[in-house]
């Protein structure tokens, strides 16, 4: 026998938030890929008769969130955590800004973790015993999950994950941590997030939210199963310092509106022709199309996108289908989303025209038809993912040139190296790089938190388009967006500024400033130029550290990871050596 | 275990250029019907028809493939496992006939070595639009040592005959089980060597 948990709605106390666990979403369960056909048939019958063998029970979860602004706990948390008459069944306590020190930021290590965990542990409701199930922390964002001792045996599959949404989507000063678990038969995901600050930054907060939803993924125990995202749970409990503010309404009217509002909006795109064309695909610009698979047959049906011969995966790396497989009961349907996203690993070949946005998906129905779904599109070449050498040989914006020119440049470069295109003197550095650095030099030299604050994705799109088309004449977007666009440019280079072949000797000689300089002088000319140009710019930035709050350590951390890349995964020791290497160039100019 | 309603299962495949009438040929055979609206097959579909040959119930699982050029690399992956392949062209479409040698090459490259092949010149009811003489079809079939029929799915000419002949030819190559032996003796491997010796003779 099994049970199905539900949580009662309780508005008595502001601090005890509860979520009404909906009757399990059958359609969603049926699309879960982990069942084979036999299991599916059983599951399908079980779901139909769910009411006969399940019963609902109410549980209470205490959700609390606290931005502690780097402080240590000074007084008891009991008035906060022990404020309900009855002891809650579970506690999920989230903290933000646990530790604001640089050590916490760079090495993700802080004594505050223990201090606040102990403070929470001491202040839980005295009428019950609790077990600490899981703790997860990303820099200053921490989530602690306690459960009443008697429920502990019904908790299973506990997993924790983190995702940073700071600059370059990497740094953990903003982002989210999450814990997922099964309680009886219900899957629950608790998220604690710290979103971008300031009222006017709602767009960035929305972007953070979307990023957290798409990038926070729990690995499954079975490695062949796709990872589980936040929204794939029966109940999602989201807490945190969200930084959204409602300024015009008082608390009671807001609550009333929440009660009235229907949050459910369902979109169904009917499918007529299984053929998709993605128009004007651009670097790092998500495009998606959806279609519905309806099972109008008499039996349950299983579908899967299958791998074509001689190909490693069911689709090209710039394409994904979600869900890639699933199960549809009689009369039910499933929405499948096809998503195109060109990143730094797929951009180089698309830029040069060596590959195109073209694929055929094979949608296989178990014991039935295979549908071919052609996916086509046109890709707009970009300076993102184009080599330094090619860009130095392009006098016009990338999209002003016929793609043939770029293709020839790339293939000549492959075979002949640096001396490939010598009819005209190449530019010293890519003009795109110059535009961004020059813009920052003129406008952002004193910008607070430059290279620390993430930019806006919408502005990145405008900056990329400007670099690639030459329109408008000057770069759009905020300083932070231009700064991130520059970092993304360096990150997307097919061959890093310090080419892979020079990487080992950079590590070996990282402690000697003169050796480091010598290595840089041996780089291909345009790479050397770019390196020196960037270092000179960063030294200018450091002269203004009183205003922009940068120091050479921060800049070395950020830029070393982009300029000195390894084709293998770097360990912490290696990373420190790359930082040491680049640090020489930040504290002194070339001798 | 469920009782089998057939003695043998043959997997057949229809290939050929887009628009030559593969789906109509199959539809005529499986449902004895003809549909004039042209809907290009975008994928792979199959129909089942059970026939009786030499006292045996034979279940034919017939796969219909997309003919469009852009799908060729995918459709060839379905060749393996087919015991018989029907290669169809359109007698009113010269291009579809010219492509026969390309399709035959595809079979050589991707199908089982012992696959039974057959050539069909479809739409033979449209005599006034004919551009491929029957003799040319016969000639290319002779050159490759395969059977040939002119067919019409619309006028129901030679459709059933073609499928039954192909099934018979496969049946001839199929090792016969002793009627009183319940189990197939794998160790003897008689069936496989039997085919090979026939091929080489």
Query: Which of A272, A364, A367, A369 would you mutate first to test chain B, the one with the most B CBs within 10 A?
Result: A369
> Hey, are the CB atoms on B74 and A374 less than 8 Å from each other?
no
CATH number (1.10.555.10, 3.40.47.10, 1.10.760.10, 1.20.210.10) of A404-587 reads 1.10.555.10
- CB contacts of B73 in chain A (<8 Å) are 308-309
Query: Comparing A7 with B108, which gets the higher pLDDT?
Result: B108
Question: In CATH terms, is domain A276-379 a member of 2.60.40.10?
Answer: yes
User: How much is the average pLDDT of A453-458?
Assistant: 88
B96's tokens? 């579809």
- CB contacts of B61 in chain A (<8 Å) are none
pLDDT of residue A13: 32
Residue B2 scores a pLDDT above 80: no
The answer as to whether B194 is a domain residue is: no
Residue A561 scores a pLDDT above 80: yes
The answer as to whether B41 is a domain residue is: yes
**Is A372 part of the contact surface with chain B (CB cutoff 8 Å)?**
yes
Q: How far is CA B72 from CA A308, A336, B99, B159, in A?
A: 12, 25, 13, 25
Instruction: Sketch the domain layout of chain A as residue ranges.
Output: 2-254, 276-379, 404-587
Lowest mean pLDDT segment, chosen from A323-337, A431-445, A469-483: A323-337
Q: Which of B42, B46, B76 sits opposite A372 (nearest CB)?
A: B42
> Hey, are the CB atoms on A369 and B73 less than 8 Å from each other?
no
> If you average pLDDT over every residue of chain A, what do you get?
84
Q: Which of B42, B70, B73 sits opposite A371 (nearest CB)?
A: B42
B77's tokens? 């992956």
* CA B165 – CA B12 distance, rounded (Å): 12
Over residues B63-104, the pLDDT tens digits come to: 999 888 888 888 998 898 899 999 999 999 999 999 999 999
Residue A431 scores a pLDDT above 80: yes
Name the residue of chain B whose CA is nearest to A309's CA: B77
Name the residue of chain A whose CA is nearest to B77's CA: A309
The string of DSSP letters for A15-39 reads: T-----PPSP-HHHHHT-TT--HHH
CA distance A367 to chain B (A): 10
* Contact predicate A493/A388, CB 8 Å: yes
User: How much is the average pLDDT of A69-89?
Assistant: 92
> Hey, are the CB atoms on B70 and A374 less than 8 Å from each other?
yes
CA distance B26 to chain A (A): 15
pLDDT of residue B43: 83
Q: At B70, which CATH number?
A: 3.40.50.300
Confidence of residue A25 (pLDDT cuts 50, 70, 90): very low
**Is A407 part of the contact surface with chain B (CB cutoff 8 Å)?**
no
Q: What is the share, in percent, of chain B residues with pLDDT greater than 90?
A: 65
Query: Comparing B180 with A506, which gets the higher pLDDT?
Result: A506
**Is B98 part of the contact surface with chain A (CB cutoff 8 Å)?**
no
Residue A300 scores a pLDDT above 50: yes
* Contact predicate B119/B146, CB 8 Å: yes
The answer as to whether B190 is a domain residue is: no
Length of chain B: 201
The answer as to whether B181 is a domain residue is: no
Over residues A123-150, the pLDDT tens digits come to: 999 999 999 999 999 988 999 999 999 9
- CB contacts of A309 in chain B (<8 Å) are 73-74, 76-77
- CB contacts of A275 in chain B (<8 Å) are 42
> Hey, are the CB atoms on B43 and A371 less than 8 Å from each other?
yes
* CA B153 – CA B65 distance, rounded (Å): 17
Say which residue the tokens 């797929």 belong to: A346
Query: Is the bond into B153 cis (omega within 30 degrees of 0)?
Result: no
Pick from A482, A489, A486, A491: nearest CA to A564: A491
**How far is residue A6 CA from its own chain's centroid?**
31
CA distance A349 to chain B (A): 21
Element (H, E) at A139: none
Helix (H, G, I), strand (E, B) or coil at A159: strand
| A279 CB burial (10 A radius; 0-12, 13-18, 19+) | exposed
Highest mean pLDDT range out of A31-35, A258-262, A353-357?
Answer: A353-357
Name the residue of chain A whose CA is nearest to B79's CA: A309
Confidence of residue B186 (pLDDT cuts 50, 70, 90): very low
Residue B117 belongs to domain spanning: 8-173
pLDDT of residue A392: 93
CA distance B195 to chain A (A): 28
DSSP state of B132: S
pLDDT of residue A270: 29
User: How much is the average pLDDT of B165-175?
Assistant: 93
Residue A170 scores a pLDDT above 70: no
CA distance A552 to chain B (A): 55
Angle CA B150–B152–B156, to nearest 5: 120
Name the residue of chain A whose CA is nearest to B64's CA: A369
Burial pattern A351-372, b for ≥16 Cβ within 10 A else e, equals bbbeeebebbbbbbbeeeebbb
> Hey, are the CB atoms on A369 and B44 less than 8 Å from each other?
yes
Counting the structural domains of chain B, the total is 1
* CA A460 – CA A15 distance, rounded (Å): 39
Query: Comparing A496 with A307, which gets the higher pLDDT?
Result: A496
**Is A367 part of the contact surface with chain B (CB cutoff 8 Å)?**
no
**Is A417 part of the contact surface with chain B (CB cutoff 8 Å)?**
no
Name the residue of chain B whose CA is nearest to A373's CA: B42
Confidence of residue B175 (pLDDT cuts 50, 70, 90): confident
**Is A360 part of the contact surface with chain B (CB cutoff 8 Å)?**
yes
CATH number (3.60.10.10, 3.40.50.2000, 3.30.540.10, 2.40.110.10) of A2-254 reads 3.60.10.10
Over residues A235-282, the pLDDT tens digits come to: 999 999 988 776 666 677 666 666 654 333 222 222 335 688 999 999
Query: Comparing A438 with A328, which gets the higher pLDDT?
Result: A438
Give the bridge partners for A340, in sequence order: A287, A319
Lowest mean pLDDT segment, chosen from A104-113, A296-305, A517-526: A104-113
Confidence of residue A298 (pLDDT cuts 50, 70, 90): confident
DSSP state of A10: -
CA distance B44 to chain A (A): 5
> Hey, are the CB atoms on A372 and B77 less than 8 Å from each other?
no
Q: How many C-beta atoms lie closer than 10 Å to residue A528's C-beta?
A: 18
């Amino acid at each position: 026998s099994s049970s199905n948990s539900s949580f009662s709605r309780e508005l008595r106390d502001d601090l005890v938030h509860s979520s009404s666990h909906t009757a399990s979403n059958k359609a969603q369960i049926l699309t879960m890929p982990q069942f084979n056909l036999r299991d599916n048939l059983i599951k399908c019958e079980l779901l139909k008769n769910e009411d006969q063998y399940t019963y609902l029970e109410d549980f209470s979860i205490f959700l609390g969130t606290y931005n502690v602004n780097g402080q240590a706990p000074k007084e008891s948390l009991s008035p906060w955590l022990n404020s309900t008459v009855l002891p809650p069944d579970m506690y999920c306590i989230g903290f933000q800004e646990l530790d604001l020190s640089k050590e916490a930021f760079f090495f993700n290590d802080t004594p505050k973790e223990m201090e606040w965990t102990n403070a929470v542990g001491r202040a839980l409701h005295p009428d019950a015993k609790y077990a600490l199930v899981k703790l997860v922390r990303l820099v200053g964002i921490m989530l602690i999950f306690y459960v009443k001792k008697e429920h502990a045996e019904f908790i299973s599959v506990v997993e924790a994950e983190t995702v940073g949404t700071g600059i370059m989507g990497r740094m953990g000063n903003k982002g989210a941590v999450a814990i997922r678990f099964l309680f009886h038969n219900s899957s629950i995901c608790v998220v604690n997030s710290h979103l971008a600050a300031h009222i006017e930054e709602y767009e960035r907060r929305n972007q953070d939210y979307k990023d957290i939803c798409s990038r926070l993924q729990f690995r499954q125990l079975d490695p062949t199963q796709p990872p589980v995202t936040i929204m794939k749970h029966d109940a999602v409990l989201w807490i945190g310092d969200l930084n959204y503010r409602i300024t015009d309404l008082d608390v009671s009217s807001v609550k009333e509106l929440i009660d009235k509002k229907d949050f459910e909006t369902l979109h169904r795109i009917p499918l007529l022709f299984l053929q998709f064309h993605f128009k004007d695909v651009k670097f790092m610009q998500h495009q998606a199309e959806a279609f519905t698979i309806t099972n109008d047959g008499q039996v349950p049906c299983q579908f899967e996108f299958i791998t074509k011969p001689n190909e490693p995966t069911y689709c090209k790396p710039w394409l994904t289908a979600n869900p890639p497989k699933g199960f549809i009961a009689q009369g039910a349907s499933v929405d499948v989303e096809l998503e195109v996203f060109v990143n730094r690993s797929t951009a180089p070949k698309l830029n040069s025209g060596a590959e195109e946005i073209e694929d055929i998906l094979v949608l296989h129905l178990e014991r039935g038809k295979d549908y071919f779904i052609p996916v086509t599109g046109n890709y707009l070449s970009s300076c993102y993912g184009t080599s330094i050498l090619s860009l130095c040989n392009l006098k016009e914006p990338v999209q002003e040139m016929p793609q043939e020119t770029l293709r020839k440049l790339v293939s000549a470069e492959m075979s002949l190296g640096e001396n490939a295109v010598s009819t005209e003197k190449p530019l010293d550095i890519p003009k795109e790089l110059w535009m961004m650095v020059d813009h920052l030099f003129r406008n952002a030299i004193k910008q607070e938190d430059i290279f620390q604050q993430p930019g806006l994705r919408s502005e990145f799109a405008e900056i990329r388009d400007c670099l690639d088309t030459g329109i408008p004449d000057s770069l759009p977007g905020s300083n932070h967006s231009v700064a991130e666009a520059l970092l993304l440019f360096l990150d997307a280079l097919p061959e890093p500024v310090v080419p892979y072949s020079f990487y080992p000797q950079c590590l070996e000689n990282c402690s000697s400033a003169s050796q480091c300089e010598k290595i840089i002088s041996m780089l291909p000319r345009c790479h050397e130029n770019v390196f020196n140009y960037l270092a000179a710019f960063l030294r200018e930035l450091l002269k203004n550290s009183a205003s922009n709050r940068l120091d050479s350590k921060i800049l070395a951390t950020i830029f070393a990871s982009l300029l000195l890349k390894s084709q293998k995964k770097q360990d912490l020791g290696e990373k420190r050596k790359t930082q040491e290497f680049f640090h020489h160039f930040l504290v002194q100019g070339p001798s | 275990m469920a009782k089998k309603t057939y003695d043998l299962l043959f997997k057949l495949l229809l290939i050929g250029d887009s628009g030559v009438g593969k789906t109509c040929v199959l539809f005529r055979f499986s449902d004895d019907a003809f549909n004039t609206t042209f809907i290009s097959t975008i994928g792979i579909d199959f129909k089942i028809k059970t026939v009786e040959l030499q006292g045996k119930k034979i279940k034919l699982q017939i796969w219909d493939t997309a003919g469009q050029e852009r799908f060729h690399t995918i459709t060839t992956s379905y060749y393996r496992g087919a015991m018989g392949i029907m290669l169809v062209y359109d007698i009113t479409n010269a291009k579809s006939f010219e492509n026969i040698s390309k399709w035959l090459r595809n079979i050589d490259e991707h199908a089982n070595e012992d696959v039974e092949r057959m050539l069909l010149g479809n739409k033979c009811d449209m005599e006034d639009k004919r551009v491929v003489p029957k003799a040319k079809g016969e000639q290319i079939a002779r050159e490759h040592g395969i059977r040939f029929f002119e067919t019409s799915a619309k006028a129901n000419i030679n459709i059933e005959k073609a499928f039954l002949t192909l099934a018979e030819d496969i049946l001839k190559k199929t090792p016969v089980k002793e009627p009183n032996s319940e189990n197939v003796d794998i160790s003897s491997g008689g069936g496989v060597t039997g085919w090979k010796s026939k091929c080489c003779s």
